[in-house]
Amino acid sequence: VAVYPPSVNKIFLSARHVGKADAANAAGKAATFVCGSFVRFSIGIDGGQKRITSVKIQTNGCGFMIAAAEVIAEAIEGLFLSDLQGLNDEQLNQLITQHLGLFQPDRDHCQQVCFEAIRGAFFDYRVLQLEEFQGEKALICTCFGVAEETIEQLIDKNSALSVERVGELCNAGSGCGSCRMLIQELIDQHDYSAHRTGKP
């Protein structure tokens, strides 16, 4: 029988976000080869308010995995997309450490798989938003409604050459973080063409 640290045990035994989200409209699943376990987050988002109204988890993992997923679900439920601040590893690690203590290296996969799954759920929601989007200009950030053109201008004219800088100037990428890879691609494209033409 596995023995868990008290902080993990407490949350694992009282997990209340198990199941499928109310009015779920997106989901993300990730698995780890280390132990073969998976986590699935389903999320319900009120599109009008851009608010995460429900977050639920399903997993066949151990107490560490259940507790990590539960902490994430509890922290995110009720937030606005704009509150997520990019959902980066540092923030998520901090959240877990704050509630469950530092995970040992051999338990790192239990939290990493949760990080991947929750990001997957928001990515899924972004794809859904893009499918419904009716505007003329290509949309990059659905959390803040920022078009590709706007970001390109910031990169070209304001020398916003990092995802963070783009976020500071127009918020793009500082919500759920799903568009950060695309913003990075736009920056890379700029770097590539600047390199070819010799222009900064």
Question: Does 126 sit near ligand FES (CB under 6 A)?
Answer: yes
Both structure tokens of 123: 């990515």
Question: Does 37 sit near ligand FES (CB under 6 A)?
Answer: no
C-beta closer to ligand FES: residue 44 or 175 = 175
Binding mask 94-123 for ligand FES (x = CB under 6 A): ------------------------------
Q: Name residues contacting ligand FES, limited to 134-163 (CB under 6 A).
A: 141-143
Q: Which of 44, 61, 120, 175 is close enough to bind ligand FES by CB under 6 A? A: 175
C-beta closer to ligand FES: residue 56 or 180 = 180
Q: By the criterion CB under 6 A, which residues form the site for ligand FES?
A: 126, 141-143, 172-173, 175-179
